[in-house]
Amino acid sequence: MFKIENLCKTFSDLDSKIDVLKDISLQIKSGEKVVIVGPSGSGKSTLLRCLNGLEKPSSGHVIFNGIDINSSEKNLNSERKKVGMVFQKFNLFPHLTVLENIMLAPKLIYNCEIRNSEKRAIELLSRIGLADKKDVYPAKLSGGQQQRIAIIRALLMNPEVLLFDEPTSALDPEMILEVLLLIKDLALTGLTMVIVTHELSFAKKIASRIIFMNDGRILEDTTPEEFFEEPKCERAKEFLNKLSYKI
């Protein structure tokens, strides 16, 4: 599904240059649940944003279903429709109701017939127990409810792959579980997923592969069992030890 070849991303301004991604190469197959972990600032979110064209690589290639999505604007727009994205901060429009938020992208991009789009939107809301919130504005919802609605919004586009950029990082601890349970349910449907998260216990349960990044590079690409029980590199061992400390 995805083939990433020698991907590099550099951010520059007048005073400095930061190499955020350094020669990243990997493949993601259909149906995989790939979880990307690592310390803050390691390039995880930037890699995810390169996968759906929100960031343009400085060099290298992102090939999706055999097409280099950065070779032309036409390719980027065509393939981005097939890649859903769930952000940290929900990104719901405050002036639109829940139903209007969910239906906006299909109406704009696919020019969907309103009745069919609305029917499926309500079906998806019912699936997560929020059909009664369809006419409510985001400000009246909890963070967990907003993030679940953001996931449903992405699903309404019928994506081939769904990207999650730390979907629980903006939530209070008691709201995290409801979002993780929804993601777990989606994983059981066979949908291809790439998830950036700091929730390591969740990563261990859901992932078919774990990718560990540090300083813009992939240091480990392995199974959850191998990563959590026998990490190969010292940086991964240090990372896991720090996150399993006891008070």
Please write the tens of the pLDDT for every residue from 124-168: 899 888 999 999 999 999 999 999 999 999 988 889 999 999 999
Mean pLDDT across the chain: 90
How far is 46 from 21, CA to CA, in rounded Å? 8
CATH number of the domain to which 140 belongs: 3.40.50.300
Residue 36: domain span: 2-243
Count: domains in the chain: 1
CA distance readout (Å), 201 to 157, 198, 206, 243, 245: 29, 9, 9, 11, 14
Structure confidence at residue 247 as a pLDDT band (50, 70, 90): very low
Give me the DSSP letters along 97-147. Answer: -HHHHHHHHIIIII---HHHHHHHHHHHHHHTT-GGGTTS-GGGS-HHHHH
pLDDT at 209 over 80: yes
